[in-house]
Amino acid sequence: MHPTPRLLLSLLCASFVPLLAAKKAAEPADAPPQLISTTGGGPKWKNVPELLVFAAKGDPAACLELGDRSLEGDGVPRDVTKAAALYEQAAKAGAADGWFRLGKIYHDGLLDAPDYGRALEYFTTAAKAGVVEAQHNIGAMLVSARGVKRDYIEGLAWLIVAKQAGAPSDAETQVRNRIARRPADIAAAEARAAEIVGDLPNAVVHATLLNKPIAPVAPQAEKPALAAPKPDPVASPKIAVPMTPTLQGVTPGKP
């Protein structure tokens, strides 16, 4: 006699009950909370003490997460200086997101007054390594005149690059609409974007900061990997949200 589907389901459920009970009984009541990943796979550490061990060993993904936690005061004391040091350590180990996070720290003035020069330098280093948020932020700074001279062509170019790489922002469309009466500028931005994508690892941002020309360059002694690294999944920090451009009115033929 073959068991009915209902009987099979009952047997399966009954077999799982003791297994779940045994697993629950095996976990100490005072066990530290487990860290989980929303992207699958999970990190190599299960709790903050283990995270500290991996970060102390220089694991780039651990340094990034501990930096995020130090910046937010999440499970560890809030310490922006320590967060910056951890981001730099991760970046020098090949985690390009570290350069992006450093750029946000300096752009937002979390250590002192905003330092747009250093912010743009770090954004550029990250952007050249394929970090789309950094590419977006370069464009946002340029079209918004955020610490740099406003430049719709160069700014739109970087927003196009970021959008093509998957940046979740409609900033490119906003800027296109803003300068719709200047089709030559849009065409120039599209050509510039193609130029950037064609040699992204060697791209240079054309920008002017406080009346001084700047040419952001990656630290000579410690260059990050040119390809975006794939470390163990970690939670994205709040500072990873791309900036929203601040646009002003535009008239044809005028910057």
Judge residue 124's burial from the number of C-beta atoms within 10 Å of its C-beta, 0-12 exposed, 13-18 middle, 19 or more buried: buried
Mean pLDDT over residues 6-12, rounded? Answer: 42
What's the whole-number average pLDDT of the chain?
A: 77
Give the Cα separation of 167 and 160 in Å (integer).
9
Q: Tell me what pLDDT residue 1 has.
A: 52
Residue 240 has pLDDT above 80, yes or no: no
Decide if 154 contacts 135 (C-beta within 8 A): no
Q: How sure is the predictor about 36, in pLDDT bands with cuts at 50, 70 and 90? A: very low
Helix (H) or strand (E) holding 17: helix 5-26
- Residue 185 has, within 13 A of its CA and on its CB side, a CA count of 21
In sign, the C-alpha dihedral spanning 231, 232, 233, 236 is negative
- Residue 43 has, within 13 A of its CA and on its CB side, a CA count of 25
The structure tokens listed for 92 are: 């020098």
Between residues 97 and 244, the one the model is more confident about: 97
The most confident of the ranges 85-89, 168-172, 239-243 is: 85-89
pLDDT digits (tens, 9 = 90+) for 114-134: 999 999 999 999 999 999 999
pLDDT digits (tens, 9 = 90+) for 184-217: 999 999 999 999 999 999 999 999 986 554 444 4
Q: Tell me what pLDDT residue 209 has.
A: 86
Q: What is the β-pairing status of strands 212-214 and 207-209?
A: antiparallel
Judge residue 212's burial from the number of C-beta atoms within 10 Å of its C-beta, 0-12 exposed, 13-18 middle, 19 or more buried: exposed
What is the percentage of the chain residues whose pLDDT exceeds 90?
63
Give the Cα separation of 110 and 219 in Å (integer).
21
Mean pLDDT over residues 28-33, rounded? Answer: 45
Q: Tell me what pLDDT residue 2 has.
A: 53
| 70 closest CA partner among 43, 37, 106, 110 | 110
> What are the sequence ranges of the domains in the chain?
130-211
Mean pLDDT over residues 2-15, rounded? Answer: 45
Identify any residues that bridge with 207 across adjacent strands, giving them in sequence order: 214
How far is CA 69 from its chain centroid? 15
Phi, psi at 213, each rounded to 5°? -70, 140
The most confident of the ranges 10-19, 25-34, 198-207 is: 198-207
- Cβ partners under 8 Å of residue 31, min gap 6: none
Q: Tell me what pLDDT residue 244 has.
A: 58
The structure tokens listed for 134 are: 């950094």
pLDDT digits (tens, 9 = 90+) for 42-92: 678 899 999 999 999 999 999 999 999 999 999 999 999 999 999 999 999
Q: Tell me what pLDDT residue 236 has.
A: 31
Decide if 99 contacts 131 (C-beta within 8 A): yes
| 67 closest CA partner among 91, 37, 39 | 91
